[in-house]
Structure 1
Amino acid sequence: MTFDPTTFAPTHFLWEFADGVATITLNRPERKNPLTFDSYDELRDAFHALDKCRAVKAVVVTGAGGNFCSGGDVHEIIGPLTKMNERGLLDFTHMTGDLVRAMRSCPQPIVAAVEGVCAGAGAIIAMASDLRIAAPSAKTAFLFVRVGLSGADMGACAILPRIIGQGRAAELLFTGRNMTADEGFAWGFWNRLSENVLADAQSLGRELARGPSIAHAVTKKQLDAEWHVSIEQAIEMEARAQAHCMQTRDFHRAYEAFAAKRMPEFQGD
């Protein structure tokens, strides 16, 4: 079935689509936007659907009411988990990991727009995004250790050190403490700090949406893939990837625009 971003109406989060940018808003502001089993499931499915949706060029993820996401809902997730057998627990952890897989495998750049509380699974969603903008109020905590769990959750031990370094990631994952916005910016977790987080994130999303979407998808794929190979292999992978991009109509449009001294209008083909 074809995914239509103009008619998509999710049950467990808000969805807006304009100018090639899809905005996902976690929308339980009275609880600081915690996730439930159903919202995990629906978010994962939405990112999977975006894999084949050319109309969406970029994605913004944010939270309602001045907070991003407080993690898994204590009563609707944490409580039930204490009563599950090993099979049920593994089904759950596979599902949560699949959300990160879907975010990393969808071709669109994802921009996290974060203010207030960004904790647990919320911190993971920010981490799994490609770009991150935070308000000075943002407090980010990979707080799994505070509930007796390891920091090894949803790819955190693999992805977080790549963003902020091994030592800093180890500190956050072992202690579960809050990372301030200033720390996160200095460490490279946040790309920028802003007093107008959502507006700036959507502006960035529109900028990305105006770009060459095939090339953006290749960049996203290679940023992940090249962590696992030697530099020699990476150079060969990039040679093939760039040769593929050189066959796109967008590449030819860019040349023609340059020759005519005007800005290119990319169309994603």
Structure 2
Amino acid sequence: MNLLTHKAEHVLFEIDGPIGRITLNRPERKNPLTFESYAELGQMFRAAVNATEIRAFVITGAGGNFCSGGDVHEIIGPLLERDTKGLMQFTALTGELVKAMRACPQPIVAAVDGVCAGAGAIIAMASDLRIATPAAKVAFLFNRVGLAGCDMGACAVLPRIIGQGRASELLYLGRSMSGAEGLSWGFFNSLVEGDALADAATKMAADIAAGPGFANAMTKRMLAMEWAMGIEQAIDAEAVAQALCMTTNDFRRAYEAFAAKQRPVFQHD
């Protein structure tokens, strides 16, 4: 897939300068996911590695809600007819989306309003940054439908964002986390009013996109890699990563701009 020319079929996708904007667009059903939209989103984020013109993503939902999770009629119902092999194919598909989001070099900003449940909560969780409105309601509601909270990496990622005890509460109870609670727990980076959400998410993505692209991608990579490292390994790995960043032209530009008492204009090379 060439992301720069991709005509999205199951979500809305547009390129706004250095920002890729993805909108889950089934507002009449609060933007549920289907087999097809899961697959397309995963493919898009995998393709992002070759879309160097895009330096940040914003993902959001249409119509005042983020995402209500997997479509009850188009996913949940059909799953009841699958055997174990077929169910494993589905859970691998959903997990591939999270792996693709984490592997994509561009930081992802989730703009969350209204319902953000199930797989929708996972997409927000798997993003790098999250901005929400006070009306946001995030629910990892898997246990409410008879499933474990260990879905799409939730038991690995969510405790790293909000802590083990708080993550356990949400995963065992399946209750909603309000916007204010999500902010105080560190799940959300900021809260803004509904009519300011799109602009706030765009500004954050634009600020990231204006930074050094190679270095930002390295930061994202190291944030992921260092989960499995001891502190000495992490320090050594960061030494290599930073030395690589020092070979970029953007590092030289930053020095030259500082010497000239100017603000650097990064060109991402």
Compute the TM-score of the two structures, normalised by the length of structure 1: 0.98
Contact 1:19 1:209 in 2 (8 A): no
Equivalent position of 1:210 in the other structure: 210
Contact 1:14–1:25 (Cα < 8 Å) also in 2? yes
Q: How does 1:1-269 map to 2 (within 5 A)?
A: 3-5=2-4, 7-195=5-193, 196-269=196-269
Asked whether the equivalents of residues 15 and 22 of structure 1 are also in contact (C-alpha less than 8 Å), the reply is yes
CA drift at 1:263: 1.1
* Corresponding letter in the other structure for 2:6: F
> How many residues are paired up?
267
Looking at structure 1, the residues matched to 109 and 3 of structure 2 have their Cα atoms a distance apart, in angstroms, of 21
Tell me, in whole angstroms, the C-alpha distance in 2 between the residues paired with 1:107 and 1:266. 17
| CA distance in structure 2 between the partners assigned to 1:45 and 1:55 by the alignment | 17
How big is the shift at 1:28?
Answer: 0.1
Query: Offset of 1:53 from its aligned partner?
Result: 1.1
**CA deviation vs aligned residue, 1:32-83 (integer Å, no higher than 9, x gap):** 0000000000000000000111000000000000000000000000000011
Q: Measure how far apart 1:19 and its partner are.
A: 2.1
Task: State the alpha-carbon separation in 1 of the partners of residues 121 and 197 from structure 2.
Answer: 16
Secondary structure, counterpart of 1:51 in structure 2: helix
CA distance in 1, matches of 2:260, 2:76: 60
Q: State the 4+ residue runs in structure 1 displaced beyond 2 angstroms.
A: none
Report the 3-state secondary structure (helix = DSSP H, G, I; strand = E; otherwise coil) of the residue aligned with 2:15. strand
CA distance in 1, matches of 2:95, 2:152: 5
Sequence identity of aligned pairs in percent?
63
149-158 vs 220-229, greater mean Cα deviation: 220-229
Alpha-carbon offset, residue 4 of structure 1: 4.6
CA distance in 1, matches of 2:168, 2:157: 12
Q: Output the CA distance in 1 between the equivalents of 2:239 and 2:90.
A: 39
Contact (CA 8 Å) 2:20, 2:54: kept in 1 or not? yes
Q: Secondary structure at the match of 1:251?
A: helix
Contact 2:57-2:109 at 8 Å conserved across structures: yes
State TM-score, norm by structure 2: 0.98
Judge conservation of contact 2:137–2:179 (CA < 8 Å) in 1.
yes
Judge conservation of contact 2:131–2:201 (CA < 8 Å) in 1.
Answer: yes
What amino acid is the match of 1:16? E
Shift, 1:227, TM fit: 1.2
CA contact (8 A) 2:3 2:47 kept: no
- Give, in whole Å, the separation in 1 of the partners of 2:197 and 2:148: 31
Shift of 1:268: 1.1
- d(CA) in 1 for partners of 2:44, 2:225: 23
Cα drift, residue 30 of structure 1: 0.1
Task: For 1:261 and 1:251, locate their aligned partners in 2 and report how far apart those are by CA, in whole Å.
Answer: 15
CA drift at 1:8: 2.2
Quick one: which amino acid aligns to residue 234 of structure 1? A
Distance 2:261 2:38 in 1: 47
**SS of residue matched to 1:88:** helix
Contact conserved, 2:30 with 2:63, CA < 8 A, in 1? yes
| Counterpart contact for 1:133–1:192, Cα < 8 Å | yes
